[in-house]
Amino acid sequence: MSTVKQPHAEQFTSREQQSFAGTFGMWVFIASELLFFGPLLFGYLYLRVHYPEASAAASRHTDYLLGTSNTAVLLTSSFLMALAGHAAESGQRPRAMRLLWAVAALGFVFLVLKGWEYHKDFQENLFPGPGFRPEHGGRLQQLPGMQLFFILYFVATCLHAVHLTIGILVCLAMAWRLRRPPPVGVSADAIEYAGLYWHFVDVVWIFLYPLLYLVGRAGG
Amino acid sequence: MEKRTRPLVLTWLALLVLLAISAGTSWLRLGWINTAIGLAVATVKVVLVGLVFMRLRVTHPLLRLTAVAGLTTLALLFILSGADYATRSEVPAPWQHPSTVAPRLGR
């Protein structure tokens, strides 16, 4: 346990106020990130209302197994991230460091699985454009709607992957900087902020998963 | 299991069970109920992540309010944009094959 009281920046009256301001700032950022992802969800709502059969047919072309395993990977990474936050808070810095490495590794596993899925999507001609030719299922008049679904699929998952990549880099940087004690090394507050961001990226995926992978799974 | 981390472990297990529920029920042929189950399970998962992992359960009310403000703003924007799309009929342009249309280059 580190019992040394950490100093605070001069614009704050106490260390508690400083870490509360940081957490508050992170939550405001997360709320704005929600509005950043929001239009994609609205686009999805429009698509489901205007092209119900086409979007169900298109969602059957996504990879159920990869999507489900990726969800499990992200949920587990979020759990480890929460453990890392607790460990850093109670001064167990080596443990927090190991957990952050594990979180980054799981994030990387997610990206690898996602990349493999993209590769399969390209092979099945599911990328929107002149070459869009889903092999099985989907009638000709459904093709425009199916293309819209896949535009949304690629934009949403790419945007999520970009956020996850940033999260992995943040985890690695935090794990690296945990080697030294504060104020040279990183404080437990910073792990908490990184955790909030990571959990938000997880939350986005929790919603993308049923919308992109599950809706038309049982057949239309 | 340490006492302090027990809620985290239980939440993680609950999240995996919820994932199994949504993944499993998606193979039952229930029509729109499939989407409803998927979204309901996702909402429960997000509430769990928010309350336990993001500590909204024990945190300052201002932070909870910030999270709710984000959701409310998103809901308002959904309503406003949705009202626009819901009150207009879609008039698709007649589909023309590119080869049947004379090329218009320049003016």
The answer to whether the CB of B20 falls within 8 A of the CB of A75 is no
CB–CB of A209 and B42 under 8 A? yes
The DSSP annotation for chain B comes to: --TTTHHHHHHHHHHHHHHHHHHHHTTS--THHHHHHHHHHHHHHHHHIIIIIS-TTTS-HHHHHHHHHHHHHHHHHHHHHHHHHHTS---PPPP--GGGSPP----
ipTM: 0.91
Nearest chain B residue to A76 by CA distance is B12
Amino acid identity, position B49: V
* pLDDT 10s digits, B30-70: 888 999 999 999 999 999 999 999 999 999 999 999 999 99
* pLDDT beneath 70: ranges in chain A: 1-6, 137-138, 182-183, 220
Dist. CA B65–CA B59, nearest whole Å? 11
Q: Say yes or no to pLDDT of B16 above 70.
A: yes
DSSP A70-81: HHHHHHHHHHHH
Give B107's pLDDT tier (boundaries 50, 70, 90). low
How far is the C-alpha of A213 from the C-alpha of A71, rounded, in Å? 11
Segment 38-97 of chain B within 8 Å of chain A by CB: 38-39, 41-42, 45-46, 49-50, 52-54, 59-60, 62-63, 66-67, 69-71, 73-74, 77-78, 81-82, 85, 90
* Residue B1 confidence (pLDDT): 61
| pLDDT of A150 | 95
Shortest Cα–Cα distance, B106 to chain A (Å): 25
Decide if B53 and A211 are in contact by the 8 Å CB cutoff. Answer: no
> Quick one: pLDDT at residue A210?
95
Q: C-alpha angle A183/A186/A189, rounded to 5°?
A: 105
Chain A: give the shortest CA distance to residue B77, in Å: 9
Dihedral of CA atoms A202, A207, A213, A214 in degrees, nearest 10, equals: 130
Determine the length of chain B.
107
Report the alpha-carbon distance of residue A216 to residue A174 in Å, rounded: 41
- Per residue in A26-70, pLDDT (tens digit) is 999 999 999 999 999 999 999 998 888 899 999 999 999 999 999
Domains of chain A are 50-214 (1.20.120.80)
**SS3 at position A94:** helix
Q: Give me the pLDDT at residue B98, please.
A: 65
Report pTM: 0.90
Q: How many helices (H) and strands (E) does chain A have?
A: 6, 0
